[in-house]
Structure formats: structure tokens, C-alpha cells
Structure 1
Amino acid sequence: MTKRVVLLEDGTAEMKGLIGSQGVSLSELLRAGWPVPAGFAVTTECCREFNTRLGHGSTDAAQEVERAIHHLEQRTGTIFGDAKTPLLLSVKPSEVHSNTNERASFLYVGLNDVTVEGLAEQTEDRCYALYCYRSLLQDFGYLVHGIPYELFGESAGEPEIQDELELERIITEHKIIIEVHGRTPFPQDVKSQLSEALGASFSHTHCSPVLVQVMVNGEYGEHMSSESACKMVVDMVSEGLITKEEALLRIDPLQVTEMLIQSSDLTNSLHAGSIVSLTDREEKNECVIRGQHSPQVLAVQQLLEWADEVKSLSVLVNVNHPRDAILARALGAEGIGQCQIEAMLLSPSRLPFVQKMITADNDYERRRGVERLLPMLQADFEQFFEVMDGCPVTIKLLDSAWDERLLDVEADMLDMQIEAIFRAALKSIHQGLWVRPEILIPPVSDSSELQRLRELVDHIADQILGEEKRHCLYKVGTTIEISRAGTIATQMARHADFFSFGTLDIRENKNLVEMSVVQGKARKPYLRSGVCIEQAANADTIAFCHRIGVDYVSCSPEQVPFARIAAAQAAIRERKRDRNEQNHDISTTA
């Protein structure tokens, strides 16, 4: 009995000759519990039958394909050819032939003049839907009719186009090209589209099986897992179907975070302590994780590398314990944006010493308590410098208003914290590490107070580091409370190397933050600024920070992958806007 169609969920390893190596791999992933997009394989037997019948499929084959399509509709809740909830398909070979670089995949089969509007409504992005339609027309013209991609014009290589009228014009031109050079109109009937796509695939693959799967549209896909979505866009870049920038825009940053945090092999590697630092200072100094990872994890890591290539916003991390710094470094943090001495002192191992110091009967015992804390903090700072070798480590000093009982030893506490930082830096330098401490002053009343504290930091650094000061590129910055951001920035910039924004919700105070950044850099062009609040790992906040020229955002370790992708997306979208504005200016002038 001829087996023409095999659902992926029914595939087995013994069917490799029937459904191809990729068909078998997808079937095995399904059985292992991976949420692979639903699909089916049109077998080698069906392909041979097609070629034997001189390019015409049998009635039985058509019926089996139709039943398989109905199965996909039931699985996804979409309908092939429906105006509101269209089912879209990819059609590609199940065997990859290494002797050809030819594109042989159809994407978005099922789009036509009607269903494209359904996709636009589903995704709330009509430009995206039109771009998908345009891509189908190009692939259809080439694979079905042999029309060179070049004939579709230079616009075929510009996925940046975001003007609906321009895309509509291009689509109309593409349909005319297909009708003229292919001598038949592009089929608006979706069943005819699929039939011709299968026929073309059989011709291109020389009796190899063909895979048909539900087309998941990047960040709009509701039926694909984070793992599959990430791997899919990376594969599409490898096949030359989309650019790296397109891949990054199609991914929801949450998918990347979910994938890395939940990945068992990554988590196990972290728990096993198998993180090492790259020693080659000529390359980007980052932590790498030993061990073999699944293709999905490797795809995520590839996406993150592409994101780092295009983003301009640095992604730092908020941590208060060295173990959290290790995780953050493994997830791609470029330094510590804030570790709070207050939180470090409240850890279970330190709290008894702090309590004893606070409740001491006299100043002498309180000062003795301060001295006992110094080596504890120093040990933590040494670990931070080791993990973040070559990257900034921002340490926020204890706010003097933390506990009124410390007022008697306030000066001693301040000296102790700064001394612990520079003692740790000195030891780390002697161990061959590149240390970059950034000392963050808590909110102060005015610029003269910041000047006094800055001079104190410089004085202690001179005393402890001596000649090694040239190897310790430390900075001194101040916390800018958002509520006062616009009123003190210019004065504070005189004595600060960087601003750190915190406390209130930045999304409700954007004007104040932007004013502060602009005024600070007007006073001191090389002044750095960063946002170190939990809302930093928010796509809108990151886009805002990128737009106004903030240098870094700092978030929790688990949010680092999200922030890396979101920062890249902000940079890509800004470039697109700039290009569109330039094109608009040129067309207006013309």
C-alpha cells in the first residue's frame, strides 16, 4: 500500500527513507515532549508517483494531503484560506543537499489578497503581514516558474520597508511579474498554492520527501514554544531567508529569557560551577559554559551574540552576592550596575555582627564592630572583581540615614566601606585582574556634599593603592533620585563620573530623566548614566533609555537576556526610522 502522507506525530526512526532525516528528527522531538509545530511529511513514494505521472499528483494523494491539512486546522484552531484566522504553511525539503546553495523553501503558503488582511489583524502589524506576502510571491515566482529573484527588483532585499503603500505597490508588481514571466497568475486559491508548491519541491528535490509545517510568524506565533521559535529564526538566517536584524525583531525577548532560565543543561552547568572566564583580553571578556547544549540553547546563544553586535546600550546587573554575579556573567551581563552594601550587611552571615555593633554600649565597641565588618566586605568585593574581571563593578555605599544609631560611627562606617573596596581592588590587581570599581554615592543634598565625599574617596584611594592607582581605573558617581533629577543634574555633574537613576518609576518621570541626562552631558560630555531599577528590564524603558542616550541599564540576573535582546531591537528600530526619514526627505525634495 502506497503511503503518501505521514503526520509528524506518527513518524518513527524506521521511516527515514520515507519521510527524510528532518522528518524523523522532528518526530523524535515530538515524542520527547518538544512542542514542535504541527506538520506532516509528503513521502518519497508520493514524490515518485508525482514524477511518474509527469508532474501530476493522484486523486488519492490530494485527498491524503487534504486530510492532513484538516488535522493541522484542528490542532491550531486556524483554517487554511480563512479570511480571519488563516492557517499558513512552510513547505521545504526534508533532506538538505550539501551540493546546492539554492533556496528551496516556501514560507507563508496560504497568503493571498484576502488572508493577508487576516494575518495583519492577528498580528496587529499590517506591514509585517504585507512583507510576508511579498516573500511568498518571490519564493513562488522563483521555485515554481524559475523567475530570478533579481527580476523582482532591489526592493526584494530590503526587509526594512515599513510603508504600507510602498509594500502594496511592490506586491502588485510582483504579481504582474509572475503573470508575465510565468504565463499564469499567482493562484489566489490556497489549495492551488500548496499543490504547486509541493510539485515544485518534488522537482527541486529529485524524489526526496517534503515537509509541510504550520508557519509560525516569529514573535506572533501562538503555537510555537520559545525553544522552537528561537531555533527557527536562526535557521532562517542560515538559509538566507531573513537577515540577523529580522531574526532579532521576530523574537519576543521573553522567549529568550524563558529558554535560558528553564534550560536544564544550562541550569545544571551553572549549579555544577562549570563557568570559566576567558583569559584572552583582546576578545570580549565573558563567561562561557562548558558542555554540550541542545540545538535550541545554541540558537538562543547565537541570537544573543547577534544582539550584542548591534546594541549600543550596555546591560549590567543588580546583585548583592557573588553567586548571583556568576549567574549574571554567564547570562551575558557586562558588569555590575549596582550592589548595595546595605543589602550585603543584612545577609544572614553579617546581620549578627551588625546587630551587635548597633546595640553596643559605647562608641569604642561600635568602632570595633565597624572594624570587624571590613574584611567581610573586602572578601565579597574581591569575588565580585574576580567574576567581573575587566568589567565595571558599581558599589553603592551605605546611606547614612539607614539607622540613626549609627550616627556616632557614621564617619568610621564611610571610611570602612571605601577602604574595603580599595583593599579588595589592590589584592585583585596583584592577582593579575583588571579591576574597575565604580563607587556610587547615595543621594546627597547638594553638590558641595558630593564634592566632599568625592575628595574622601580620592584620599583613601591614594593611601591604599599608592603606585598601583594607575592600574585601578575607579570612578565616583551619585544616585539621582528621579523626583529631583531635573533640578540638580548640572551641579552634580561637576563632581561625578556617572549618574545612577533609581527609586521612583522611571516610566512616570521620563521628562525629568531625559532632562537630567542632557544637562549632565552638556556639563560633562563623557558623563555616563545608567538606570538601575527593576523596571529596567522592560522593552519600553529600554527603548526610551536608548533614545535619550543613557549608557546602560542594570537589572536582575534573570532579566539580562531579555535586556540584551530588547536593547538590540531598540537599536534596529531606530536605524529603520532614520532610514525611513532619510528616504522621506529625499522623496520630498525630489
Structure 2
Amino acid sequence: MSEKRVYTFGNGQAEGRADMRNLLGGKGANLAEMNLIGVPVPPGFTITTDVCNEYFEKGKDDVVALLKVDVEKSIHHIEKLMNSTFGDPENPLLVSVRSGARASMPGMMDTILNLGLNDEVVKGLAKKTGNERFAYDSYRRFVQMYGDVVLGMKPVNKDDIDPFEAIIQKVKSLRGIVLDNEMNVEELKQLVVLFKNAIKEQTGSVFPENPVDQLWGAICAVFDSWMNERAILYRKMEGIPQEWGTAVSVMAMVFGNMGDTSATGVCFSRDAATGENRFNGEYLINAQGEDVVAGIRTPQQITKEGSLRWAKQQGISEEIRAAKFPSMEEAMPELYQQLNALQDKLEKHYHDMQDMEFTVQEGKLWFLQTRNGKRTGTAMVKIAMDLLHEGLIDEKTAIQRCEPNKLDELLHPVFDKEALKEAKVLTRGLPASPGAACGQIVFFADDASKWHEDGHQVVMVRIETSPEDLAGMSAAEGILTARGGMTSHAAVVARGMGKCCVSGAGAINIDYKARTVEIDGTVLHEGDYLSLNGSTGEVYAGQVKTKEAEVSGDFAELMALCDKYTRMVVRTNADTPHDAEVAKRFGAVGIGLCRTEHMFFDKDKIKPMREMILADTKEGRETALAKLLPLQKKDFVGILKCMDGQPVNIRLLDPPLHEFVPHDIKGQKVMAEEMGKSLAEIQQRVAALQEVNPMLGLRGCRLGITYPEITTMQTKAILGAAIELKRQGYHPMPEIMVPLVGTYKELKQQQAVIRAAAKELFAEEGMEVDFKLGTMIEIPRAALTADEIAKYADYFSFGTNDLTQMTFGYSRDDVARFLPTYLDEKVIEVDPFQVLDQTGVGQLVEMGVKKGRSTKPTLKCGICGEHGGEPSSVKFCHRVGLDYVSCSPFRVPIARLAAAQAAVEK
């Protein structure tokens, strides 16, 4: 921790600089830097982020005592540079108090302007400026802000109007005026009195007249705002640690509300939505900063080009635009030229798009803030590539400048922003798979398929999904589930399909019999429209307009840059040729996980699969498997052909067998008829397949060891498909993966079965194909004994979904019951099924790699859990030496960017 708690800036000098943002916050660091490079900034000082942590550890009184001397010295520093005195009625200095975390959190914390005014000082300010209206306008704004931020003046009910705004409306209505700047001096004086009375009546607090008391109240309120509800929520969304804290910057006030030669505004050096190199922003004459963003008055555009575009969108004639809404470029041409020159200077200095706040006080331009601007995914990529072409950044910086997760915005359909303003939010769940979906509600997979075939767009609503819902999920625009987490079946499969999915929406109550879903009192029926936002987890009533995401040529250029620098390649998790093709288009260089059990639910395969499960003898199973073999082979031909010349890692069958049989009487009767069995026989076999804990039961390699004929069939289907393609001139690269191995003997046994089946097939076909044989490391014991297992494996694929489940002892399908509490109480920092637990699970991965390669130095290692598409997890995989990561098709670009960033950072 820094012993120095307060850093001053002003008059071209500063104790801080841009690279001290961790200590001074983004705002404080940039205010110091702007001073150092000659940008006009009002003088002030910044209290460090370390003090914020002290504030919550030691309490308000102790921190005020610690800061008292430094803050007094710093106020004198401002007084000297501004030639005015804090609290002096004759020559008053006023200040603003602003928050500033190291990561930009726009609008999340509090700001107070015009601090230092009281009933005496306001008279001195009016006399000093010769502008009584300006003085009392500033005073009423200060009382309003201070009452809200420091004294807690809020609406009594959440639906009520802001109490201060209610008073303003009442005063304006008496004279029939609409805008704040139409109020006269007497009305502004009246507001001050009414505001103070309302504060005392509602909060019991008296508005403080002493400027020093005001200052300490504001500083502490800004620290308190670090822990307000919206700031906490924003930090959760953005992954900003609580311990970072916020700095507090105190600056001399400059005033945009001193008349028609004064103004305030916000501007961007480039378009934050599209990334175009176009200076843009909004300003207001005779106003203060909050007016621009509060919507009290219609802001005007800074550039003439922007003003013309805005007028066209609004249907305003050029005559009216020029008269009522002139741009700053037209109304204040000299100041506009200064502003334009300085925004260009700041962008070139920071080598990034800047978001700036400024004030013009009686013809003099002041900058109040600059920061790297927030931007859309499209803008992010375009700006990075444009800055590269302009020579402002190099290739490695362009890669690091992009946030991997924001690439999602480029790949999935999105809701129209204007349409969202009118949308009614019914509830929220987990944003399991990004994108936007709109369709009619259906509850069953068969109905989803049928409605889709009939030309309907549908959203499938389920308590939870199972592999049997696959066809319905494929037909649906989106999936909504009441249960399940981010790695539930619905979530994993939806991401693989590129389908929008909201999972774990606990507020929804589904009645399958009535075919209704009730959401907080609203009852929706089958066929009603519903819209899902898979990027936020929001569920909307009715139809919300969507649009296809726009992927620019800049995206392809960024991906090419990633390939240039990356060491660790990216494969995909894909079970169909369609998924493989999508992933290949996004740059996947192979398949890291093909789950064969997903293939068996196809209507052509489910019957022989059930025959195999129900067979009492090995001969009966082999008869059923003989029917399955050509069907499986056909699937593998499609996938291997799509990924020609690239590795395809195919996992042998790994589901609990009970998932393949129906559990309802109707389904069991149909199955009995199809199988030529009695209902009693079917029910007896279904009951026999039930397990107390199926995830730890007869699945994975245990299934292949118990029924080796299944492994034999799958081996012949995989290698038979490869032989067929090889004869056609293709270059198939199959990899056969044995799942759920916990001891080397399990792999050794399955290896013998696979090798024997391959030898038999090659003899029958008169042709051989090369193939790799590996295993999935998803049981802690496998990682601990990886040196023994590696003797029988060509490669390891870490299945971190199950490895996380078994290491933590959390059921990934039931975590929604306790995980929110764990996250709120800081028992764990993040959902371990979304972000790899590098300390525990990651240690097993690292150990598995080291131990495996100690036995077999050539051992290839990859990851195929959902963590393979999460940026911080991908970077961890790079650090521990994995050769590849594998993820859902739509996460491939995210993983490619994260892998390249890992290589560049190293």
C-alpha cells in the first residue's frame, strides 16, 4: 500500500501520471496525465484507491482523521491556482467531487458538483460573476445532488418520481414553463428553500452550511457509492474485483451554465457503435454536465455532419435544425476547432479511442475527463485494426486491445436496440448461450420439430432438457429452462449449436399438462410469443425484433493476426457435420470432442440402441449393434469429411444407459410394441437400469469394459468411415478417445479391444488408416496417476466439466440451488463451471500434463470442457503447456483471440 494518500494536479503539473491508474483510478491518473501533456484541466487532487479499502476496513471517522491534513493542503493548492478561497463569500472557490475506479464504471458511482455553496457564498458568487441566475441555478443543483447522494433523498416508493424533480415540476407548472433553463432567479431561489425543507422532512437531516462539512460528506459518499447496488452488480458483470476500490477526485469547478458563451458536453474520438473514425458527441449551451446525459434538454451534436445526420433521423428540416439545434462546429467554431485538435491529441497520446467530458466557461475550454471509450464488439475490432493501419499501435497491441468475450456480439443475432426500449422484461435467468431469439412457446421436442417444419419460429421452454430433446432444440430459435447451470445440458448443447439459451430461470413455473408457463403472475400458453436475450439472461414478453450480427472484414484480419502469433491452436466440440462446418468457418483446426451418445437419439438409431440395451445376451447385443454400425459409420463419414486433413477426436459412448429408454407408460408401451416385448419386460428392464447416482455409475469406459462389443462396434464405425474416405482420396485423421478412465488398467483393457477391432477391420477391408488412441482426463485419480496412464495413450484431453464436478463435489446440474449464495457470500469468487478453478482443478490439469509427459514426452494434451472457450481459462491452458483447447463452435473465435493474447503476453 502506498503511504501517500493524496496526489495533486494543476497548471500543467501533476504528482501522478497515466500509468498510476491502479492507485489513482482511471479518472485521477488521466487528469494528471492531461496536465502533463498540456491539455487544460481545472486544478485538483485525487485520494487513492487504497484509501477506499481503508475506509471500509477502519471506518469513516478514522479515515477522515488520516486524510485531514493532506486534504486541507490540497484545497490550498487549488485555491492558489484558482485565486479564490473555499468558503469565502467574497471570492468563493467551488469544487466537484467525483469517483474514479481503475476500470471504467460509467454512471455506476456518484458525483457532486458546485460543492462549497451556502446561503452566504451564493450571494458572493452572484456578485463576483455579475450573474445572479447562474449563481442560484448552481446552488439549487448542488442542494439537489447533495441531498440525493450524501443525505439519501430518494423516492419513497420505487415507482414514484424523484422528489426533487416533483418539486421542480410543481414550480414550473405554476408559470406554465417546460425547460429548466426557463426558470427565473426567484423560482431558483424558491427551489433551494423547498429542496432543503424536503430533505429535512424526509431524511431528518439538515443541509450543511459549512463547506468543509460538505466536502467530507461528499468524499465519504463517493467511497460509499463503491458498495452501492448498481456498482456491485456492474462489478459482477464486468469481473471487477471489489478490492480494487475507487479513488476520489476533487477539482475546481468550471461552469458551463454561465450564459450563452458557456457550454458542456461529452465527445468521442471515434464512433463507439461502429468504430468509424468520426469525431462525434453532444453538447448543450448554458448547462452543466448532468444535463447532457439526463435527457432534461435535447442535446445538440458537436459536429455539423453529426447534426445533419441526427436531423434526418428525427425528420427535422434543415431550417429548423440550423435555427434551433446548431452544432458546436457552427455555433462555436473557434472552440470547436480547439476541441477537435485536443481530442485528436488525446487519441494519439493514448493510442486508443477516447471518451471525453468538457466544459466551456465564458469562452474558455476545459477538459474534465478522458478515458478509453466503451465500445461495441464491432467497433472494438474495427478500431483496433484501423489504429494498426494508421501506425498508432503494432500487431501485438491490436491483439491485446480486443476483449475476447466481446467477439460474441459479432457472431450471434442481436436485438434491435430501439425495439428493446419497448420490451417488457418478464424475468431473468443465466445467459447460457449468447444471441437473441424470438418465437412461439412450445414445451416438447416433438412439437418444436413439427411447428418448425410447418414454418413457425419457436422457443422451447423446459424445466430442464435431456439428450432426447435434441431434435427440438435444433428446431428451436432459443431454449429457456427453469433449472440447470452454465454447463447444463441445455447450455452446453445450445452453445454448440449457436442457439440462444437462457437457463436456470427459477421464477418460471411450467405446467406441461396444461401447456402453460407462469412467470411472476403472468401466464403464457403454448403458441404465445416469447423473446430471449442469451447475452443478458433477460426474458421478454412477445416479439422483439432481431437483426443479424454484422461481421466485417476487420474480424477476418484480426483472426489472421491471432494465427500469426498463437502457439496453442483451437479445435471445436462438434457432434454433427453442420456444427463442424460452422466451427471450421470460424477457424477451428479440428474437433477436440465429438460426443457419440448425442448421435444415438436420432429416430433411425434409437430403436436398435434400445434393442441393444434391452438384450439379455451378448449375441442379442451384437445383433442390435450390427444394425447401429452402418448408421454410426455414416455419421463419422460426414464429420471426418468436413474436417478433412484435420484431427477429429471421437469420444466413445459415455451416457448412463437409462437416458435411452422412456420413463413414461405411453413411451414404454410404444417401445414394447417396437421391440416385440411385453410392457412388464420393458418396465422391468427400465427399473434395472436405474442408478442412485448415474453420473458415477455405468458410463464411460465402465460401459465399454462391461460390454466390450459396444467399443468394438464404435471402433469399426469410426475406422470404417476413415477407410471409406481414404479410398475417395480424402485424408481423415481419426482419434479414438476412451472416457472416464481412473486407472491405467481401464485404458489398457479398452486399448486392447480397440486394437483388436482395428486389426480385424483392416484385414477385412484390405486397407489401414492411421489413428490416435487417447483418453479423457476427467477424474482426479487420472490426473494423479497420469504417468501410468500415459504409457497407453497417444494424447490426453482434459474434460474439465466433470473434473470440476468431481474435484469440488458439486453437481453441475444442481448448483443453481446454492451457487448464487456462495457467490454473494464470497465463498467462491466465480462459478467454477464457467471459469476454470486454476488453484484446484487447474493444479490437477498441470499435474496431469507434467506427469503424462514425464512418461511420454511426445504426449499431446488438450482441453475439451466448456472452459476451452473462456478467455482466462484459455490463457491458463497456454501457461501449462497444452497443445490445443476445444470449445463450442461459436466460441472458437473467442478462444483463438485469448490463445493469441496468451502468447503475446508471455
**TM more than 0.5:** yes
How many aligned residue pairs are there? 376
Change (3 A) 1:432 1:468: farther
Return the offset for 1:469: 9.3
Aligned to 2:333: 64
Change (3 A) 1:455 1:232: same
Q: Contact 2:741/2:778 (CA < 8 Å) preserved in 1?
A: no
Aligned to 1:523: 855
Q: Secondary structure at the match of 2:785?
A: helix
Return the offset for 1:357: 3.1
Aligned to 1:200: none
Tell me whether 1:460 sits opposite 2:757 in the alignment: yes
Change (3 A) 1:367 1:469: closer
Counterpart among 434, 442, 446 of residue 739 in structure 2:
442
1:412-466 per-position Cα deviation (integer Å, ceiling 9, x unaligned):
2111000001100100101111111111011234223322322332232233235
Q: Secondary structure at the match of 2:332?
A: helix
Return the offset for 1:61: 6.5
Larger radius of gyration: 2
Aligned to 1:551: 883
Aligned to 2:633: 378
Q: Distance in 1 between matches of 2:329 and 2:855?
A: 77
Tell me whether 1:534 sits opposite 2:685 in the alignment: no
Q: Contact 1:482/1:509 (CA < 8 Å) preserved in 2?
A: no
Counterpart among 378, 403, 407 of residue 227 in structure 1:
378
TM normalised by structure 1 equals 0.56
Change (3 A) 1:409 1:496: closer
Change (3 A) 1:60 1:511: closer
Tell me whether 1:483 sits opposite 2:780 in the alignment: yes
1:218-267 per-position Cα deviation (integer Å, ceiling 9, x unaligned):
xxx32x32212211211221222211111111111122232133499xx9
* Amino acid corresponding to residue 354 of structure 1 in structure 2: M
Q: Secondary structure at the match of 1:473?
A: coil
Change (3 A) 1:296 1:350: closer
Aligned to 2:621: 366
Q: Contact 2:583/2:889 (CA < 8 Å) preserved in 1?
A: yes
Tell me whether 1:428 sits opposite 2:760 in the alignment: no
Q: Secondary structure at the match of 1:492?
A: helix
TM normalised by structure 2 equals 0.38
Aligned to 1:89: 343
1:469-515 per-position Cα deviation (integer Å, ceiling 9, x unaligned):
99733111011124224421000011101111111334241111111
Aligned to 1:340: 595
Counterpart among 568, 573, 583 of residue 318 in structure 1:
573
Q: Contact 2:570/2:892 (CA < 8 Å) preserved in 1?
A: yes
Q: Contact 1:325/1:557 (CA < 8 Å) preserved in 2?
A: yes
Change (3 A) 1:34 1:132: closer
Q: Contact 1:394/1:437 (CA < 8 Å) preserved in 2?
A: yes
Change (3 A) 1:340 1:569: same
Aligned to 1:396: 651
Q: Distance in 2 between matches of 1:398 and 1:418?
A: 11
Q: Contact 2:593/2:864 (CA < 8 Å) preserved in 1?
A: yes
1:298-324 per-position Cα deviation (integer Å, ceiling 9, x unaligned):
100110111011111111111112211
Q: Distance in 2 between matches of 1:535 and 1:373?
A: 32
Name the structure with the higher strand share. Answer: 2
Tell me whether 1:504 sits opposite 2:803 in the alignment: yes
Tell me whether 1:261 sits opposite 2:560 in the alignment: no
Q: Distance in 1 between matches of 2:614 and 2:777?
A: 32
* Amino acid corresponding to residue 236 of structure 1 in structure 2: L
Q: Contact 2:275/2:382 (CA < 8 Å) preserved in 1?
A: no
Q: Distance in 2 between matches of 1:408 and 1:316?
A: 29
Counterpart among 506, 513, 516 of residue 845 in structure 2:
513
* Amino acid corresponding to residue 574 of structure 2 in structure 1: V
Q: Distance in 2 between matches of 1:430 and 1:319?
A: 24
Aligned to 1:584: none
Aligned to 1:23: none
Q: Distance in 2 between matches of 1:258 and 1:60?
A: 34
Return the offset for 1:523: 1.1
Aligned to 2:399: 248
Tell me whether 1:308 sits opposite 2:563 in the alignment: yes
Aligned to 1:108: 347
Q: Distance in 2 between matches of 1:517 and 1:260?
A: 33
Aligned to 2:748: 451
Q: Distance in 2 between matches of 1:262 and 1:88?
A: 38
Q: Distance in 1 between matches of 2:791 and 2:893?
A: 34
Q: Secondary structure at the match of 1:320?
A: coil
Change (3 A) 1:411 1:302: same
* Amino acid corresponding to residue 63 of structure 1 in structure 2: M
Tell me whether 1:571 sits opposite 2:903 in the alignment: yes
Q: Contact 1:256/1:562 (CA < 8 Å) preserved in 2?
A: yes
| More displaced 10-residue stretch of structure 1: 354-363 or 383-392 | 354-363
Q: Distance in 1 between matches of 2:859 and 2:803?
A: 22
Note the residue ranges of structure 1 that are not aligned, 5 or more in a row.
1-28, 44-58, 70-79, 82-86, 91-105, 112-128, 136-188, 197-213, 268-292, 575-590
Q: Contact 1:311/1:568 (CA < 8 Å) preserved in 2?
A: yes
Return the offset for 1:362: 5.6
* Amino acid corresponding to residue 250 of structure 1 in structure 2: R
* Amino acid corresponding to residue 733 of structure 2 in structure 1: R
* Amino acid corresponding to residue 397 of structure 2 in structure 1: E
Change (3 A) 1:563 1:65: farther
* Amino acid corresponding to residue 891 of structure 2 in structure 1: Q
Aligned to 1:560: 892
Change (3 A) 1:439 1:65: farther
Q: Distance in 2 between matches of 1:416 and 1:42?
A: 71
Counterpart among 564, 582, 586 of residue 331 in structure 1:
586
Q: Secondary structure at the match of 2:633?
A: helix
* Amino acid corresponding to residue 442 of structure 1 in structure 2: P
Q: Contact 1:360/1:366 (CA < 8 Å) preserved in 2?
A: yes
How many percent of aligned residue pairs carry the same amino acid?
32
* Amino acid corresponding to residue 427 of structure 1 in structure 2: E
Return the offset for 1:557: 0.6
* Amino acid corresponding to residue 753 of structure 2 in structure 1: L
Q: Distance in 1 between matches of 2:604 and 2:337?
A: 62
Q: Distance in 1 between matches of 2:400 and 2:567?
A: 16
Change (3 A) 1:318 1:444: same
Return the offset for 1:295: 9.1
1 or 2 for the larger relative contact order (CA 8 Å, sep ≥6)? 1
Q: Contact 1:338/1:393 (CA < 8 Å) preserved in 2?
A: yes
Q: Distance in 2 between matches of 1:437 and 1:443?
A: 19
Note the residue ranges of structure 2 that are not aligned, 5 or more in a row.
1-269, 281-301, 306-327, 416-434, 436-547, 659-687, 690-702, 805-835
Return the offset for 1:534: 0.8
Q: Contact 1:400/1:410 (CA < 8 Å) preserved in 2?
A: no
Return the offset for 1:528: 0.8
Q: Secondary structure at the match of 2:571?
A: strand
